Amino acid sequence: MALSIGVDVGGTKIAAGVVDEDGAVLATLHRRSPATARNAIFTTIADVVNELAVHYDAPTIGVGAAGFTSSDRNTMVHGTNLDWTGARIADEVAERTGKRVVVENDANAAGWAEARFGAAAGKANVLVITLGTGVGGAVIIDGRLVRGAAGFAAEVGHITIVPDGRPCGCGLRGCLERYCSGTALGVNGWELATFRPDYAARIIELSGGDANRISGKAVTAAAREDDPAALECYARLGDALGIGLADLCAVLDPEVIVLAGGLTEAGDILLTPVRKSFTQHLTARIHRPAIPVIISSAGQEAGLIGAADLARQD
């Protein structure tokens, strides 16, 4: 059985695991991420890999990395939340471990895990959207991960859905990420609290009484209590996401859409408005096969599972 080690590198945590050909995780290790120290990031990745390799024969390493990953599957062209823009990650980790290393965009890695082993297993054409602090994505067409000419494909969080809308960290305005992420959910709550404080009173209360500290988590907590203001925040997010998904389907025509990431823990609070908006805006909806919108099943280890499997197949 060919084993591979997957590493999911985030701004706060580095998770590594030994993964078999069926997507099962045999062992894991976690370390705090030294996000602002480039060499320390590489050293920490190598340390967890080398520790796992003592007990498992895994010749390949897949590293899931946040940012614009080059098509050479080595170089981080532009990193997000981590100090490694321009770094040749695969070379750095290979030098420290003596193993073959492949780098993947983290959303691509998580999406691949969903398509291979998770909620979309058995489907050849899959769109995966990751909803967390930001919005990422992965596109699988005819069973192959789409990376694009430069390696930047499926950066779905940066399609424009509101011309000249909210400013985005990418430098543009109106990006999907600014309306459909956990961060955006908090902004929705802040806007209601600023202009309709009585209506948003429960959201403010769950934020310690400070409207400037409203987060997506506070909005979600209020929504679970059926608070109307919080549910309105989700309705606005769901409407925007449904429009974005419909636009993507007009181009990609997937069999299924999988939503992944921390925001999906809201379950039907999220799914209900998303599905409603998606159905309303989907082109040719009465003529095409239904495209289900479902929640991921690969869990928190999806990133390392997908990275490991893609490295094994490279």
Same domain, 80 and 147: no
Query: What is the pLDDT of the chain when averaged over all its residues?
Result: 94
Same domain, 279 and 136: yes
Residue type, 194: T
Reported as a single tens digit per residue, the pLDDT across 9-58 is: 987 889 999 999 999 999 999 999 887 888 999 999 999 999 999 999 99
In terms of Cα–Cα distance, which of 131, 72, 140 is closest to 112?
A: 140
Query: Does a structural domain hold residue 104?
Result: yes
Q: Kindly indicate the confidence band of residue 172, based on its pLDDT and cuts at 50, 70 and 90.
A: very high
Same domain, 224 and 253: yes
| Segment 39-45 long-range contacts (CB within 8 Å, at least 24 positions apart) | 41/9, 41/14, 41/82, 41/83, 41/84, 42/87, 42/89, 42/92, 42/93, 42/96, 43/96, 44/14, 45/7, 45/9, 45/14, 45/16, 45/93, 45/96
Query: Does a structural domain hold residue 279?
Result: yes
pTM of the model as a whole: 0.91
CA distance 147 to 256: 19
Residue type, 6: G
* DSSP run (H or E) holding 188: helix 182-195
Same domain, 65 and 142: no
Total structural domains within the chain: 2
Q: What is the dihedral of CA 141, 146, 149, 152, to 10 degrees?
A: 140
CA distance 96 to 282: 49
pLDDT at 1: 63
Cβ density class 207-230: b for 16+ within 10 Å, e for less: beeebeebbbebbbbbbeeebebb
* Residue that the structure tokens 């181009």 belong to: 251
Reported as a single tens digit per residue, the pLDDT across 231-249 is: 999 999 999 999 999 999 9
- Strand 293-295 relative to strand 76-79: parallel, antiparallel, unpaired? unpaired
In degrees and rounded to multiples of 5, residue 133 shows phi and psi of: -55, -40
Same domain, 49 and 106: yes
Range of the domain at 275: 123-296
Same domain, 22 and 168: no
In terms of Cα–Cα distance, which of 114, 111, 123, 121 is closest to 156?
A: 111
- Token pair for residue 43? 């050293």
The answer to whether 30 touches 7, Cβ cutoff 8 Å, is no
* pLDDT score of 304 more than 90: yes
CA distance 37 to 125: 38
* DSSP run (H or E) holding 192: helix 182-195
* Residue 9 C-beta-side C-alpha neighbours within 13 Å: 33
Query: Does a structural domain hold residue 118?
Result: no
Reported as a single tens digit per residue, the pLDDT across 68-127 is: 899 999 999 987 777 888 999 999 999 999 999 999 999 999 999 999 999 999 999 999
Same domain, 151 and 280: yes
pLDDT at 133: 86
Query: Does a structural domain hold residue 117?
Result: no
Same domain, 140 and 276: yes
Same domain, 175 and 195: yes
Same domain, 107 and 241: no
